[in-house]
Structure 1
Amino acid sequence: EVDVRSGNFRQPPSATTPQTPVVPDAPRAAGASDPLDDLRKRRREEASMKRKAARDEKLARILHKNTQRKFWERWREATRMRHREYVDGLVAEHDRLCGEIADGLEVILGIHEELALAFRLVQ
């Protein structure tokens, strides 16, 4: 006979060849696992691992951002402190120079007064 759909030849069932019935769900031996259950379990585990990896990656990004933010906050604070120290140094130098100028002006004014007194005496 020819199977019309597939084009394969097949032998007609004969009386001498016993046909064994196919049992769709034969009972498994004790302890044997179902391949579909194993596949489902493996896929669940893979999905769980992917979720955990994604969560870990997200946490790593957050930690990295927090670390960067803290670094830049500390850097700005240190820069402010260095700037304050620099400005304080400039103010101290300014005050010192102003003091020297004031002392010099007092000396100049004293000399000026002495010269004015001497000039009046000469006239």
Structure 2
Amino acid sequence: MRAALQVPEAVLQQTFADLSRMLPEEGVGLWSGSGQEVRTWTFLPNAAGHGERRVRFTVHPQDWIQALVSSSERGEAPLALVHSHPTAPPVPSAHDRKHWYYPDLWCVIVSFADGTPRWRAFQL
């Protein structure tokens, strides 16, 4: 089991701000850094079909590649794929588990279900 992620308050607040702007749809992005220390939040557009964005996310391959290239150029590694649950708790849904294609990354879920963002990290 890997050590827990260390997320600076400024990165966490930027993550919450960007994801909250996507409500009532799910938002998505990448945390990158070094070791387990998050340094950078990169917002990514949710490329899921318009009617699906309230319950799932998809990252367009070109957006994903650009995020990885940018992380590498900063000397960082991808650490976590972060997405929001507008009305559900911060636990992976059946869809999240079935379609998790990032075994080396943390799955971080930010929930807005009770109005205050809460997050949890999982290793899927």
State the TM-score, normalizing by the size of structure 2. 0.16
Q: Which has the higher helix share?
A: 1
Higher relative contact order (CA 8 A, sep 6+): 2
Q: Which has the higher strand share?
A: 2
Which structure has the greater CA radius of gyration? 1
